[in-house]
């Protein structure tokens, strides 16, 4: 289950059944608090699927955030993540959108380059 933006972006790109199976095995809320409840994680998965990239607004380490975009294997499954960690105040607002979109483009370019090998 996700703790980082890289974890979240990979989880968001898995098939729903696999995603549910992994969710059923984890209870992050008891260790990490309500921001890691199943409902909160499912909401971040929906947001990630809509935008194409994941945002971690300081959920693991206060003041430290991150963005991530999935890199896919030859079968179209998410296997890796291209991530951009940073100080949360530098990753918020419009900058988050710009960086997330750029990160997604670069992750897709990396996926294409790897497919040609």
**pTM summary value:** 0.85
Domain that holds residue 16: 5-115
Pairing status of strand 64-72 against strand 78-87: antiparallel
Distance, CA of 50 to CA of 74 (rounded, Å):
23
Q: Edge-to-edge, what's the strand order for the sheet holding 54-61?
A: 54-61, 64-72, 78-87
- CATH code assigned at 9: 3.30.450.40
Average pLDDT score, the chain: 86
Number of domains forming the structure of the chain: 1
Average pLDDT rounded to a whole number, residues 101-106: 97
- Do residues 5 and 99 touch, judged by C-beta distance below 8 A? no
Residue 1 pLDDT exceeds 50: no
What local confidence, expressed as pLDDT, does residue 55 receive?
Answer: 92
């Amino acid at each position: 289950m996700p703790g980082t933006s890289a974890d979240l972006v990979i989880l968001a790109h898995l098939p729903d059944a696999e995603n549910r199976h992994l969710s059923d095995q984890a209870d992050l809320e008891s260790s990490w608090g309500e921001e890691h409840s199943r409902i909160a994680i499912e909401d971040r998965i929906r947001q990630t699927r809509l935008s194409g990239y994941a945002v971690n607004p300081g959920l693991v380490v206060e003041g430290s955030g991150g963005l991530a975009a999935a890199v896919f294997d030859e079968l179209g499954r998410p296997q890796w993540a291209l991530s951009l960690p940073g100080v949360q105040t530098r990753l918020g607002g419009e900058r988050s959108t710009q960086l997330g979109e750029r990160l997604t483009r670069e992750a897709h370019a990396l996926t294409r380059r790897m497919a040609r090998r």
